[in-house]
Chains A and B, each alone.
Chain A
Amino acid sequence: MITGTPLRGSVFNESLVFAGQLLTKWRRAPVVPIQSVLFPTFLLITYYLLVGKSVLNITGTDSLYGLVPTCAIAGAFSGALAAGLAMSLERDSGLLSQLWALPVHRASALIGRMLAEAIRTLASTAVILIVGIGLGLRFHGNVVSLLLFLLVPVLVVIVFSLMVIAVAVRAKDGTVLIWLALPAITAVFASSGSPPIESLPSWMWPLLRFQPMEPIVDSMRILSQGGFPASQLLIGLAWTTLGIVVISPLAIRGYRVAAESGGVQG
């Protein structure tokens, strides 16, 4: 019998396997889908009931065009946080170490996780858009606009997931992730998608324009109204690229340290 080095698949194929494993896990223990679909759907309906009437009186336009993008991104974030909570448990149980010891590319586990997050976000954004349409939103854009509308939250969630990984693999417990959640979800709501800009104090306008979530939410709002937000998309892309460049090394290093630690129980 001839034994040689085991055949290795491509990084992409291995990442797909890891992504599939995560998606299966989420399907069986649906905390992450609940957080990424049920939470933002609930948020959209309740928040629309809260401010819908008032915003219509102030601006004359339906607040759904801002609320649907806001809730889609908030849902993507909360799903990533739920996945992060599970990750610290995986570290403690030694699962990360077991995956690290497999004869696969080192990057595939992390890429697979990002891929799973992207698929989950795509699905949850689609669900939230459907709920929004049910509440009265009319998507005026074409197929390209729709595709971009669904892909923008995916881009954002990759950065946020890296941030969650960087924190979760180092955190002693899940409470630390709440510290990450509060500013992130506040930033989403403190964009033009939620309150009409004219209802805010004028000194806040520059702050609002320069925070990272503003171009993201604004681009989705414009896409749903039938426009093409070239500048917003470019600024959003610049923010996400910067995020990936800054946070990736922290996430990768943290993941490696956690995986090599062997877990609390072994």
Chain B
Amino acid sequence: MSAVVALTERTVRATLRSDLPLAIVAPVGNLIAFNFLLSGVIDTGGMSYAQYVLPVIVIQAVFLGALTTVERAATDQRTEFGKRLGTMPISTVSPLMARMLYCLMRGALSLLAALAVGYAFGFRISGGLGYVLAFTVLTLMFTLALSLAADAAGSSVATAAASQLFVAPQMLLVVLSTGLAPLDSFPDWVHPFVRDQPVSQVTEALRGFAGGHVVASNLIASVAWCAGLFLVFGTLAIRMQRRTE
């Protein structure tokens, strides 16, 4: 366990001036940008656009974190440091666990930043403490699931530009979701994809938590997506660590 803590601390120290400030600035910048650029374009009914869009801002920050995770996993796999870790008397999954712990910390930081700036724009979680907790837990579950996927991708590719692989899926899932606009804003033929994909399900559930009335089917679908991603990519990520022994 001390190896995991030491490796996590190493990552935190290395990212104090680069990735961690970005974890705060990105959701803040994205919320400001989307709120001004799209609030007059997208019709969200009676809900303010800040209230509507904040869940996807959080998810987008998680995706940005995943991009840096791809890079970090690839670097650990590629460099001498990664090879040296393989010779040490620590568990082969310790570096992976350390990276995941860092991702959760980064995700929590992004969530805090997004909620803080969201509050200034009028975002409220009106359901009480239980809903705040549920909002946080679901966000961190999705963070972990996505980070495992990113880690598996980074470890398997292990090139300097591994993170570029993640850009297109991220864009597809974030932009073509009900996170930025209601389903009716999209052309009819794309509705099935927009409605059922993971980002839509998770953002709808988060929006439900914020409003104090979550739809059960949304919540089940969100948890199922997280669990599915967790199982598939968790297995892959662990296998990638073992492969390089």
Contacts and interface: CB of A to CB of B under 8 A. Distances in A.
Nearest to A46: B175
A175 to B, nearest CB: 4
A189 B36 contact: no
A54 B175 contact: no
B164 interface: yes
Contacts of A16: none
Given A43-B171, A178-B22, A195 B161 contact: no
A194 B171 contact: no
Contacts of A38: 168
A91 B127 CA distance: 53
Given A182-B25, A190-B33, A82 B18 contact: no
B42 interface: yes
A200 B36 CA distance: 6
Interface residues of A, number: 41
Given A50-B175, A54-B42, A173-B18, A34 B37 contact: no
A141 to B, nearest CB: 26
A226 B180 CA distance: 32
A204 interface: yes
A104 B175 CA distance: 47
Contact of A186 (B33, B40, B71): B33
Nearest to B71: A174
A39 B165 CA distance: 10
B186 interface: yes
A46 B37 CA distance: 16
Contact of B180 (A50, A52, A175, A201): A50
B18 A47 contact: no
Contacts of A175: 15, 18-19, 22, 68
Contacts of B167: 35, 39
A195 B40 contact: yes
Given A175-B22, A186-B33, A189-B37, A42 B168 contact: yes
Interface string A49-60: 111111100100
B6 interface: no
A86 B161 contact: yes
Contacts of B160: 85-86, 89
A55 B37 CA distance: 12
A200 B40 contact: yes
Interface in B85-138: none
Nearest to B162: A31
Interface in A5-57: 29, 31, 34-35, 38-39, 42-43, 46-47, 49-55
B43 A204 contact: no
Contact of A50 (B18, B26, B40, B185): B185
A199 interface: yes
Interface string B169-195: 001100110001100011100100000
Contacts of A194: 37
A29 to B, nearest CB: 8
B22 A54 contact: no
Contact of A204 (B26, B36, B38): B36
A243 interface: no
B41 A55 contact: yes
Interface in B128-168: 160-161, 164, 167-168
A186 B39 CA distance: 16
A200 B40 CA distance: 6
8 contacts: A31-B164, A39-B168, A46-B176, A49-B176, A50-B181, A54-B185, A190-B37, A195-B40
Interface of A: 29, 31, 34-35, 38-39, 42-43, 46-47, 49-55, 58, 82, 85-86, 89, 172-176, 178-179, 182, 186, 189-190, 194-196, 198-201, 204
Cβ-closest 10 pairs across A and B: A199-B40, A175-B18, A46-B175, A31-B161, A195-B37, A54-B41, A199-B41, A31-B164, A42-B168, A186-B33
Given A52-B187, A54-B42, 8 more contacts: A46-B171, A49-B176, A49-B186, A53-B186, A174-B71, A179-B22, A179-B25, A195-B40
